[in-house]
């Protein structure tokens, strides 16, 4: 049980795919100029990650080592196509807003990285836990960045006016430079959080570490 | 005239890294020094143009007549992966000098989202073949420019006093933010 808890929490802060491992950045920055896009991207990404990890984990003993990369890519591309077509059919506005970034999930390094490093070795249940943890780790960063950018750049959260009417929106934050700046501050914050957790863990002894994380 | 417009838009106004957030992984990973970033930039330029030349006819001559456009993602990624592999074999055998200069970057390029995005854009923007090739050159050179710019900044940051909370990767993105502000100045270039 403890092992699964550790797998689950790794993706949230200490091995956060975006802030610590620096992978899968493209989609994370491009779609976060408002919260709705952030939620959509987070869900789409988590779905593809979960399905790909489970499928590859099931077949891990059958996949020959020398051609594993092409097989991984085909599995991931199949699920990305499913997400892309489903979003075009059911949420056309969201699909329009995110444009090319939904098909680009296929080359998202987070998925390839997790499939290669984790699900080609571990069992199905561990993979479910891992993909949900990584997916949540990805989604909370997206939502955090999107909330700041939408609030400061538009005065709204999820389309609802939050700031008083006299607030003059700072357009900078909805434009690309704002995305880079907010992301820089998020990395900085995460490094600080990780240090805090590590220190608390060191104080509480070895066993306390996972509980705090 | 139209081709010039497409080229400049792809190169500066819609710069692939700074304005469209594509290819950020290699942008962060491969800019430790200027030489490395130039190598990666040229390798990407080469593969992007080849990928356009390969996927554009495949889409219009095979996928459209057979009405299997929904396989676009799957087909394009496989074509690009195969293409990168072939280029690697070819260079290794016939142009070993270029292979040693470019070889280490090639495997990374398969998962470079800028290349896949360009091949999708060629289709969604409805370009003809010449426009698609010019567009892909513009995007790729734009990538090269932004890589070299960041690599230059990074070499400076190593000896500069940086606020403690921005040390390491945060300063990279703060610098990128400023580069992006500069590139926004190009927005009025083409009416």
Sorted by sequence, the CB contacts under 8 Å of residue B86 that are 6+ apart come out as none
Segment (H or E) for A156:
strand A156-157
Model confidence pLDDT, tens digit, residues A2-61: 888 888 888 887 888 888 878 888 888 888 888 888 999 999 999 999 999 999 999 988
Give the pLDDT band (50/70/90) at residue B49. very high
| Assigned domain for B3 exists | no
- pLDDT beyond 60 at A208: no
Indicate if the pLDDT at residue A136 is higher than 70.
yes
Structure tokens at A30: 């491009």
**Does the pLDDT of residue B153 top 50, yes or no?**
yes
Average pLDDT of chain B, as a whole number: 87
- Asked whether residue B103 carries a pLDDT value surpassing 70, the answer given is no
| B190 occurs within a structural domain | no
Q: What is the pLDDT of residue A138?
A: 92
Specify the pTM: 0.86
Contacts 24+ apart (CB under 8 A), A139-144: A139/A38, A139/A39, A139/A42, A139/A43, A139/A45, A139/A46, A140/A12, A141/A16, A141/A18, A141/A19, A141/A28, A141/A186, A142/A28, A142/A31, A142/A32, A142/A38, A142/A39, A142/A41, A142/A42, A143/A35, A143/A38, A143/A39, A143/A42, A144/A186
* Smallest Cα distance from A104 to chain B, Å: 7
- Residue length of chain A: 213
C-alpha B61/C-alpha B152 separation (Å) is 43
Using a CB-CB cut-off of 8 Å, the residues of chain B touching A80 are: 73
Burial class (CB in 10 A: 0-12, 13-18, 19+), B35: exposed
For residues A69 and B146, the model is more confident at B146
- Residue percentage of chain B with pLDDT more than 90: 36
Contact B180 A180 (CB under 8 A): yes
Residue A169 has pLDDT above 70, yes or no: yes
Determine contact: B168 vs chain A, CB below 8 A. Answer: yes
HSE toward the beta carbon, residue B2, CA cutoff 13 A: 6
Give domain status of residue B2, yes or no.
Answer: no
Q: Mean pLDDT over residues B27-53, rounded?
A: 87
Q: What is the pLDDT of residue B65?
A: 92
Number of domains in chain B: 1
Q: Does B176 touch chain A (CB under 8 A)?
A: yes
User: What is the DSSP track for A87-108?
Assistant: HHHH-HHHHHHHGGGTGGGGG-
Q: Which residues of A touch B73 (CB under 8 A)?
A: 77, 80-81, 84, 103, 106
Q: For chain A, which residues make up each domain, given as ranges? A: 2-208
A89 touches chain B (CB under 8 A): no
Least confident of A75-84, A155-164, B38-47, B103-112: B103-112
Q: Is B14 on the interface with A (CB under 8 A)?
A: no
Residue A5: count other Cβ atoms within 10 Å of its Cβ.
14
Query: What domain range includes position B24?
Result: 9-185
In the stretch 35-64 of chain B, residues with CB closer than 8 A to chain A read none
Residue B102 has pLDDT above 70, yes or no: no
Beta-bridge partner residues of A64: none
Question: Once rounded to an integer, what is the mean pLDDT over residues A73-88?
Answer: 92
pLDDT band at A206 (very low <50, low <70, confident <90, very high): low
DSSP state of A160: E
Contact B160, B26 (CB under 8 A): no
Does the interface predicted TM-score (ipTM) exceed 0.90? no
Interstrand relation of A156-157 and A160-161 (parallel, antiparallel or unpaired): antiparallel
Question: In this structure, is residue B1 part of a structural domain?
Answer: no
Asked whether the predicted pLDDT for residue A211 surpasses 50, the reply is no
């Amino acid at each position: 049980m403890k092992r699964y808890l550790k797998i689950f929490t790794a993706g949230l802060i200490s091995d956060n795919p975006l802030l610590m491992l620096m992978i899968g950045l493209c989609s994370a920055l491009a779609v976060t100029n408002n919260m709705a896009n952030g939620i959509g991207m987070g869900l789409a990404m988590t779905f593809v990650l979960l399905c790909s990890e489970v499928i590859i984990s099931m077949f891990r003993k059958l996949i020959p080592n020398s051609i594993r990369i092409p097989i991984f890519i085909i599995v991931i591309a199949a699920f990305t196509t499913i997400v892309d077509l489903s979003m075009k059919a059911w949420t056309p506005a969201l699909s329009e807003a995110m444009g090319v970034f939904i098909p680009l999930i296929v080359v998202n390094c987070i998925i390839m990285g997790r499939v290669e490093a984790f699900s080609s070795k571990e069992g199905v249940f561990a993979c479910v836990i891992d993909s949900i943890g990584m997916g949540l780790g990805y989604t909370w960063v997206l939502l955090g960045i999107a909330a700041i950018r939408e609030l400061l750049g538009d005065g709204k959260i999820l389309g609802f006016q939050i700031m008083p009417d006299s607030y003059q929106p700072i357009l900078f934050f909805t434009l690309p430079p704002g995305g880079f700046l907010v992301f820089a501050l998020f990395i900085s914050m995460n490094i600080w959080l990780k240090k805090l957790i590590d220190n608390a863990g060191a104080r509480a002894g070895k066993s306390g570490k996972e509980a705090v994380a | 005239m139209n081709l010039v417009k497409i080229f400049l838009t792809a190169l500066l106004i819609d710069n692939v890294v700074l304005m469209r957030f594509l290819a950020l992984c290699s942008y962060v990973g491969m800019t430790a020094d200027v030489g490395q970033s130039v190598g990666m930039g040229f390798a990407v330029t080469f593969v992007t143009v080849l990928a356009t030349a390969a996927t554009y006819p495949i889409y219009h001559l095979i996928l459209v007549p057979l009405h299997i456009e929904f396989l676009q993602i799957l087909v394009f990624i496989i074509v690009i992966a195969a293409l990168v592999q072939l280029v690697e074999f070819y260079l290794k055998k016939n142009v070993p000098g270029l292979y040693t200069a470019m070889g280490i970057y090639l495997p990374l390029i398969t998962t470079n989202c800028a290349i896949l995005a360009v091949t999708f854009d060629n289709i969604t923007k409805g370009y003809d073949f010449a426009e698609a090739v010019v567009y892909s050159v513009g995007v790729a050179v734009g990538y090269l420019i932004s890589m070299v710019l960041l690599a230059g900044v990074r070499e400076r940051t190593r000896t500069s006093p940086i606020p403690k909370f921005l040390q390491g990767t945060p300063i990279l993105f703060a610098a990128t933010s400023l580069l992006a502000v500069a590139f926004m100045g190009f927005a009025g270039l083409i009416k």
